[in-house]
Amino acid sequence: MASSDSATAPAPRLRGFGAFLRSQMRNIAPFLTLIVLSAFFAIASPSFATLDNVGNILTQVSVTGIIAVGLTFVILCAEIDLSVASIANVTGIAVAYFTLQESYVNIANVPMPGWAAILLALALCALLGLVNALGLTVIGIPSFIMTLAMMQIAAGISALLVRGQIAYKVPPLISTLGSGAIGGVPWIVIVAAVMLLGGHLVLTYTRFGRYIYMVGGNREAAEFSGLNVKLILGSVMVISAVCSGIGGMLGVAHFGSAQQNEFDTYLLDSIAAVVVGGTSLFGGRGGIGNTIVGLFVLGVLNNGLDHVNIDSFLKILIRGLILLAALIINVYAQRLRERTTD
């Protein structure tokens, strides 16, 4: 009997290990994807695996990373924000627009002080986020529809401000953070790292972060426990807009100009970074750590494809397939979770 028991004893452990792998598939798959992509491009192109190119990748994903911080908060609540790119664009245009305006407190009609232009631009993006929040929580418009409308509203404001022109002047602080460097490290990379770290600390170690996971995990249970769910949902929409605005201002300085439709591609990139990294579209699972992995997957993919000289149209197809694979894993992981719960 003893030998029979010892022979069958490992089976439960194996089943337990298999269950663990299935439960962690959402986290493991993006990390394995990152390793495979890095290895492939390092072999395919000697210029890929260099320190200079690592710096390039970090710089390339910085604006996306800043925007993705706020979007992570939204998706963890099982909502979506389709207006992040438009809000980034209008905020970047606004800071350039306000910088060129004359100061109304100075009879010499000098340009508006840089700090005032920055505050006005931040106030604008926060206001747009507040409109999203009110539409979602007070009127009851689904976040998909509300932010889709806001995407058009912000695009319209951008068009009114620039009227087909291109603005180049931004406040010195924004110019330094967007295009300057310290000790060889671009400031925009440092800002992105600080915001990602701040988002992680908020989600992991604060009561507000725990509330976000509760709302995303089970909204009805969160309401029954006494949480102000509408306040939390409204807060994450404003946070998303402000993060987008910061990314937009620094992006304008990084690109060297403010113009209409400059950030259009960042909507897909920021959503992909969050979802590819493993944060659940159904809410309550994931976090900034997952978003960082997703950022590196996208950064390595986009940068590596440039190094191996693949047709530009094929690049778009490959990125779409990667996103589709992430969505399939996301949905499959949710089904596994529901089976386990049942």
Segment 178-194 mean pLDDT: 94
Inter-residue contact 81 to 55 (CB < 8 Å): no
Token pair of 337 as six digits:
């979770």
Q: Check residues 278 and 130 and name the one with the higher pLDDT.
A: 130
Task: Name, of 30-44, 71-85, 307-321, the range with top average pLDDT.
Answer: 71-85
CATH number of 47-341: 1.10.3470
| Residue 185, phi then psi, degrees to nearest 5 | -100, 120
What is the spatial distance between Cα 71 and Cα 186, in angstroms, rounded to a whole number? Answer: 23
**Residues 9-49: tens digit of each pLDDT:** 455 554 555 555 555 666 777 888 888 889 988 998 888 88
Segment 129-149 mean pLDDT: 96
pLDDT exceeds cutoff 50 at 108: no
Token pair of 8 as six digits:
């069958």
pLDDT value for 37: 87
Spatial CB neighbours of 191, under 8 Å, sequence gap ≥ 6: 62, 66, 177, 246, 250
**Residue 194 CA to its chain's centroid (Å):** 14
Token pair of 185 as six digits:
């490290």
pLDDT exceeds cutoff 90 at 214: yes
Q: Is the pTM of this model over 0.85?
A: yes
pLDDT exceeds cutoff 50 at 1: no
Q: Which helix (H) or strand (E) holds 65?
A: helix 62-76
